[in-house]
Chains A and B, each alone.
Chain A
Amino acid sequence: DAGVTQSPTHLIKTRGQQVTLRCSPKSGHDTVSWYQQALGQGPQFIFQYYEEEERQRGNFPDRFSGHQFPNYSSELNVNALLLGDSALYLCASSLGGWGLYSYEQYFGPGTRLTVT
């Protein structure tokens, strides 16, 4: 049973460029959440996708956008990269949104983005 997978593992970009990160949820999961984790900090919620729609969004600018595909995989896009976007980007999957028995979020290994 495959867990949450993310690609690429590492990425180096230049300021002003655009980047796309990818996530495949755990088998059977239909909800994907994205988090940004700056060095030495806890993860911060970016947004959540369920049924191919953005259902909830954290305090991140519109430069951060996403998409969920019919197979439940998801992409995170960041435009006009800033140095401050350098971080570990974590994807988490869960089942059925946040129903009573679906409280667990399973995290992937993350994509480490460096902006120079």
Chain B
Amino acid sequence: AQKITQTQPGMFVQEKEAVTLDCTYDTSDPSYGLFWYKQPSSGEMIFLIYQGSYDQQNATEGRYSLNFQKARKSANLVISASQLGDSAMYFCAMREPYGGSQGNLIFGKGTKLSVKP
């Protein structure tokens, strides 16, 4: 069965420093997509970044980058130059199949990131 594991319940980072949030996944399907979402206290899930299993390069979106290591089945999120507004819950999620017509997301339990001034 598909599974997403986030082993860091909480993380602290100093403002302006970089932070890495860990995510490992398990799937037997060669085609899948990996996502990171940010959930502030308001509750809305905000899409941050996407990586397809066949993408050759790691995805980047502004201050967010995804460190995709396919052989290790890991998809860590790197946030550079942390800001106070980055304090939130972060969820890693997986969708399979890649580009298919079905697409529910499987989420991890999340990591609570706190940015210290």
A: residues with CB less than 8 A from B are: 33, 35, 40-45, 48, 55-56, 58, 88, 90, 92, 94, 97-100, 103-110, 112
Contact = CB atoms under 8 A, between A and B. Distances in A.
Given A33-B104, A98-B95, A41 B109 contact: yes
A3 B46 CA distance: 12
B110 to A, nearest CB: 6
Contacts of B102: 48, 55-56, 97-98
Interface in B37-88: 37, 42-47, 50, 52
A113 to B, nearest CB: 12
Contacts of A45: 104-106
A41 B111 CA distance: 10
B36 interface: no
Contacts of B106: 45
B25 interface: no
A109 B106 CA distance: 19
Contacts of A107: 37, 44-47
> In which size bucket is the chain B interface?
20 to 34
Contacts of B105: 33, 35, 43, 45, 92, 105
A57 B35 CA distance: 20
Interface string B98-116: 0111111111111000000
B44 A108 contact: yes
Interface of B: 4, 33, 35, 37, 42-47, 50, 52, 91, 93, 95, 99-110
Contacts of A44: 107
Which 10 interchain pairs have the tightest Cβ spacing?
A42-B107, A98-B103, A107-B45, A45-B104, A100-B99, A110-B43, A109-B44, A97-B101, A56-B102, A43-B107
A40 B108 CA distance: 11
18 contacts: A33-B103, A41-B110, A42-B4, A42-B107, A56-B104, A58-B104, A90-B43, A97-B101, A97-B103, A98-B95, A98-B99, A103-B50, A103-B99, A106-B47, A107-B44, A107-B46, A108-B44, A109-B43
A90 B45 contact: yes
B99 A99 contact: yes
